[in-house]
Structure 1
Amino acid sequence: MKPLLGLEEAQARLLALAPQLPPETVPVEAALGRFLAEDLHAARTQPPADLSAMDGYALAGGEGPWTLVGESRAGAPYREVLEPGQCVRISTGAIVPPGADRVLLQEDAADDAGRISATELPPPGRHIRARGFDFHAGDLLLARSTRLTPARLALALAGGHGQVTVPRRLRVAVMDSGDELSPDPADCLPHQIPASNAAMIAAMLEPLGCEVTRVGPVPDNREALAAALAQAEDADVLVTSGGASVGDHDLIKPALADWGAETAFWRVAIKPGKPLLVATRGAQVILGLPGNPVSSFVTAFLFALPLVRAAIGDLDPLPRAVAMIAGEDLPPTEKRREFLRAVVEGDSVRLAGSQDSSALSALAAADALIDRPAGSPAARAGEVVRVFLLRNG
């Protein structure tokens, strides 16, 4: 039997298979959270003219007093050229009239029947936002593969863009399988458990903007699996849960082969999550996760989420580890790299409870995974450990 793949090699091989999505143009407001498919350059200059940064008076030369000749408001500029010794009342965001060289703050001004004097004269250029200080037409606003956050969405609009080009939404099918799974959590026979993995995985993927379709739960027979796989015909990515191990009733591998899929790799040296399966069917990527819920969650975090992020345009799709302090002693590890469910407490982490791969209560309490290398000795409380914070826990 081939040796198990290490985590980083398995992740790299999976990400190399990420679907290449065609671009589509959508309104900026509909693109929140998506990644740009091309560079975005400014179509206009911001600000488009010299603007006042404060409420007060735009002054034209000299040390005063100045004759008040009008007003410049945001959206209603004063259109004449100011002569030396003249000024206009001005509001924040209003265009500074030609001839004015500074703005006198309202609180530093005295008005004597239209004659404005300064109690504190600002230097030239003060309180004026110069034309183009933010960006000029043609400047690069956002590079390709930048994620559109609320602030970047505002920048795109300010740059004169009502639409942006992004990869089309990724279509993901999520399927759980197993004779023991009941579709109704309120109606389980003694030999059944509620089907929860597909719902959990879908909830992890949907915040990334995918179009997620649920399939199943599917019983452990080839005919039922074939019918279920047919429902995922148009998915870019298929994520299965259960049936990827080596038991007599683990039928995902043969069912995928019947469907025309080719195995890319199988089994990874991690705990939980060893039976991970990756296959392809044309451009479609299939990710077979273990059926135990904790194993399913951990492998979805380490593999499914990065695969989806890579497909939708994220150039840095892998989760990032941080260093934290072990809040309690940690057991030694054996031949596989282990990911312990943990709870963050300030700058330290402690175990969330049972580390059994079926323990959903501990998983639900966890907001971190402690990354323990294979063959590690026991770690003592106070030692620095590597931790992944669960962005989708």
Structure 2
Amino acid sequence: MVDWSGGNDTGPTPRKDAIWIGEAGQSPRYLRNRLLAEEDLAEQIETSLTKGERMLIGFDFPFGYPAGFARALTGQADPMAVWDWLTARIEDAPAANNRFDVAGAINRGFGGASGPFWGNPLKREIDGLARTKAGYANPFADKRACETRARGSFTCWQLAGAGAVGSQVLMGLPVLNRLRQRFAGQVAIWPFDPLTAPVAFVEIWPGLINAAVRAATGNGQIRDAVQVDMMARVLAGLAPDRLAAMLAVNAPEEGWIFGLGLEQELTAPVSLKPPPLRNDCFALPPGVDWTPVDQALGMLQDRLTPVVGIEEVPLMQAAGRVLAGDLVALRSNPPQANTAVDGYGFAAASLPEGDVVLPLVQGRSAAGVPFQGAVPAGHAVRVLTGAALPKGVDTVVLDEDCAVDGGHVAFRGGVKPGANTRRAGEDVTKGAVALQVGQLMTPADLALAAAVGLGRVPVFERLRVGVLSTGDEVVEPGAEAGPGQIFDANRAMLLTMIARFGFEPVDLGRVPDDRSALRARLDEASQRVHLVLTSGGASAGDEDHVSALLREAGAMQEWRIALKPGRPLALGLWEGVPVFGLPGNPVAAFVCTLIFARPAMGLLAGAGWSVPQGFDMPAGFSKSKKLGRREYLRARIRDGRVEVFKSEGSGRVSGLSWAEGLVELPDGAALIQPGDRVRYIPFGSFGL
């Protein structure tokens, strides 16, 4: 798979907006200019032919232009004639080329400013080539048929500016044409040639798997390299029958984008795994000691990326899953104009003034059994709720408003045109985005996806979150507790919270204050989960083994957050898996999970960063708050006011059971009196 470039030599350092080649089973290769890329491709083809292999090479630029251009330019309605025409005129060297001059010459042949090309970024003017699209008139269609269906694609006439692809076409087709001539009879150009040759050139557009590419790109990776690598793996994993189905296209002049209309299948053949997080993703800026809550949240939001792969599942299994790509409607909803009520349909323009009596045609239109034929002007037909409107019908009058004698229907005048009908596509039109990437699929979302014809959807793998309790003092609930021991209240609480958030909880059990045992348990966890929550052992004491082990691994930061309850939050990576070391106190662990771990989980799961919805409500309590820390009080609403738990002690676990949300008090000092407005965040805003 080849990501092409229409510009000059990009130098020895791999960079974006250059030429990248992705090959299944190999790392992406960077080519600094088209001369080197042409020779690289020629060597690949020659090696493949020598081995007797078949080879498919995809290029990310159009192989043809909108209908009519080839004949107007060359006298033949043959895209290969355009390839030959450009090959004879394009001059290309690593440091310069004449693409803008050739485009200007083509435009002059069609009357100068009349197009079709536009976009001149050079300092010099070019006769016939407008700098922008302003005042531009194109004698041809702006886009090919395939591009009108490919959401986000650009016109091949635009030569410069963000997203422009026109330069790649002008500079790419001559290269493909020379390779085609060099290996005469061995290369087929899809979809113009029969695919009987051992090498096929196809047109690709990585935008079809944009969501998967976006999810997999991070940590300084170059998007162009990621997308050709992913496209190569995707196509290599296609079953032969699905590959054949994607190649079964009839577009003899304009060409086509491989896989268009079958985008979901392009992410199904392989598990698309994003890169791991960087070891320094939790590093604090120099000199930072106490970290304000907003700053801590901002650092997490900036540094975390999805860690889950992508899979395709049947729609019925998509509830609670996070969409890994936009869902595009396969058909409109409603698919055709229909009636919203039981009644009688007719053409509003045929109604006389005053009260109406219309003859009825034989038959009716019912849901799933449409009326065959057309309804003549001045006539009416029986229609039932949900039925397609027959030809000649644009308005429906309710049963209750009609009198019927068998052959005629009568009703009062004044019925508004279009009454009691639904327009085709008034909800969602075919080709429109019905649901966006990152959406957590609800029952209503399933209904919408089904209504627009989607039977399978791409989703992120469900985030697996492990919960591990640590400490000699912790014993299982119901077991015998010795002196100084406590029951493990955190694990059951955290596992249940994770499930309520929509992620997959994984019970990692308990480990004593034994560094070797903890290391072994973390090693096991790194193979099972995407994220680990620990409770206890996150500070800097002699028995705080979680923070000590993460520090040994070289990827640990202790964030002392200006927060009450909470403060210490150990963050690190273990074998590439993020670890959140929560405080051992259940109240502090609960609050830190809601405020920090919950939005981080959303990012890691592909759902994006979520901010809980809060409400300003009158206080039903008094409090004098000191400067320096943000505080979260256990709270609930009664009689239109926010009341808080009687004790702020973080050891009072009963306050969590009593509460229905949190009151968030700002970092600064505050004196709160009954009736003052305070910020209340219900637990439901976090997904509990």
Worse-matched range after superposition: 260-269 or 161-170? 260-269
Q: In 2, distance between residues paired with 1:2 and 1:126?
A: 66
Contact preservation (8 Å) 1:333, 1:373: no
Q: CA deviation at 1:296?
A: 0.6
Q: Which moved more, 1:33-42 or 1:302-311?
A: 33-42
Q: Which runs of 5+ in 1 are unaligned?
A: none
Distance 2:548 2:329 in 1: 53
Distance 1:341 1:248 in 2: 32
Q: Which residue of 2 aligns with 1:12?
A: 298
2:630 corresponding residue in structure 1: 337
Q: Distance in 1 between matches of 2:669 and 2:621?
A: 16
Q: Cα distance 1:319–1:113, how it changes in 2: closer, same or farther (>3 A)? A: closer
Query: C-alpha offsets along residues 6-65 of structure 1, whole Å, 9 cap, x if unaligned?
Result: 111112222322443222111222222333221221110222222111111123534433
Query: Given the alignment of the two structures, is residue 157 of structure 1 paired with residue 450 of structure 2, yes or no?
Result: yes
Instruction: Please state whether the residue corresponding to 1:187 is helix, strand or coil.
Output: coil
1:136 to 2:432 alignment: no
Q: Deviations over 1:275-325 (max 9, x none)?
A: 111112354211000001101101011111111112223334232433222
Q: 1:76-111 CA deviation, whole Å, 9 max, x = no partner?
A: 111122223433211010112112232222112222
Q: Of residues 361, 370, 376 in structure 1, which corresponds to 2:654?
A: 361
For the residues of structure 1 that align with 2:366 and 2:618, how far apart are their CA atoms?
56
Query: Following the alignment from structure 2 to structure 1, what is the Cα–Cα distance between the partners of residues 394 and 599?
Result: 54
| 5-14 vs 379-388, which moves further | 379-388
Conserved 8 A contact 1:146-1:314: yes
Pair 1:249-2:551 in alignment: no
Structure 2 residue 194 is the aligned partner of structure 1 residue 194? no
Taking the aligned partners of 2:410 and 2:582, their CA distance within structure 1 comes to 76
- Give the match for residue 87 of structure 1: 380
Q: Confirm or deny: 8 A CA contact 2:628 2:669 kept in the other structure.
A: no
The structural deviation recorded for 1:270 is 0.9
- Looking at structure 2, the residues matched to 45 and 163 of structure 1 have their Cα atoms a distance apart, in angstroms, of 17
Matched position secondary structure for 2:409: strand
CA-to-partner distance for each residue in 1:222-250, whole Å, 9 max, x for gaps?
12212221221222111100011232222
- The answer (yes or no) to whether the contact 1:46–1:133 under 8 Å persists in 2 is yes
Change (3 A) 1:375 1:115: closer
1:100-155 deviations in whole A, cap 9, x for unaligned? 23222211222223222224462332222122222221112122222322222211
Larger Rg: 2
CA distance in 2, matches of 1:19, 1:48: 36
* Alpha-carbon displacement from aligned partner over 1:190-217 (angstroms, at most 9, x marks no partner): 4322112011111111123322111222
Q: 1:359 to 1:106 in 2, by over 3 A?
A: same
What is the aligned-residue identity percentage? Answer: 37
Q: Following the alignment from structure 2 to structure 1, what is the Cα–Cα distance between the partners of residues 475 and 412?
A: 79
Residues 251 and 206 from structure 1, CA distance in 2 versus in 1: closer, same or farther, beyond 3 angstroms? same
- The one-letter amino acid paired with 2:428 is F
The runs of 4+ residues in structure 1 deviating greater than 6 Å are none
Q: Is the 8 A contact 2:563 2:630 kept in 1?
A: yes
* TM-score, normalised with respect to structure 2: 0.54
Is the 1:34–1:312 contact (alpha carbons within 8 Å) kept by the matching residues of 2? no
Indicate the residue corresponding to 1:181 in structure 2.
474
Give the residue type in structure 1 aligned to 2:574.
Answer: R
Tell me the residue number matched to 1:294: 587
Q: Give me the whole-angstrom Cα distance separating, in 2, the residues matched to 1:272 and 1:250.
A: 19
Q: Which amino acid aligns with 1:383?
A: D
In structure 1, what is the equivalent of residue 499 of structure 2? Answer: 206
**2:642 paired residue number:** 349
**Separation of aligned partners in 1, 2:334 and 2:666:** 53
More helix by share: 2
Corresponding letter in the other structure for 2:415: P
Q: CA deviation at 1:348?
A: 2.2
Within the alignment, does 1:370 sit opposite 2:663 as a pair?
yes
Cα separation, partners in 2 of 1:86 and 1:138, compared to 1, 3 Å: same
Change in Cα spacing, 1:81 to 1:300, as seen in structure 2 (3 Å) is: same
Cα shift readout 1:140-191 (whole Å, capped 9, x = no counterpart): 2122222322222211111111111121111211101111111132532343
Between the aligned partners of 2:626 and 2:358, the Cα distance in structure 1 is 81
Name the CA distance, whole Å, in 1 between partners of 2:482 and 2:369: 73
Offset at residue 261 of structure 1 (A)? 5.3
Structure 2 gap segments, 5+ residues each: 1-286
**What's 1:41 paired with?**
328
Distance 1:86 1:374 in 2: 73
Query: C-alpha distance in 2, partners of 1:283/1:221?
Result: 22
Distance in 1 between residues matched to 2:393 and 2:644, nearest whole Å: 66
> AA paired with 1:37?
A
Answer yes or no: is the 8 Å Cα contact 1:178–1:219 preserved in 2.
yes
Instruction: With the length of structure 1 as denominator, give the TM-score of the two structures.
Output: 0.93
Higher strand share: 1
Offset of residue 255 of structure 1: 2.3
Write out aligned runs for 1:25-104 (5 A): 25-59=312-346, 61-62=350-351, 63-104=356-397
Amino acid across the alignment from 1:254 = A
The alignment partner of 2:505 has SS state of: strand
Tell me whether 58-67 or 272-281 shows the greater mean CA deviation: 58-67
Q: What is the alpha-carbon distance in structure 1 between the residues aligned to residue 483 and residue 503 of structure 2?
A: 36
- Using the alignment, how far apart are the partners of 2:381 and 2:407 within structure 1? 10
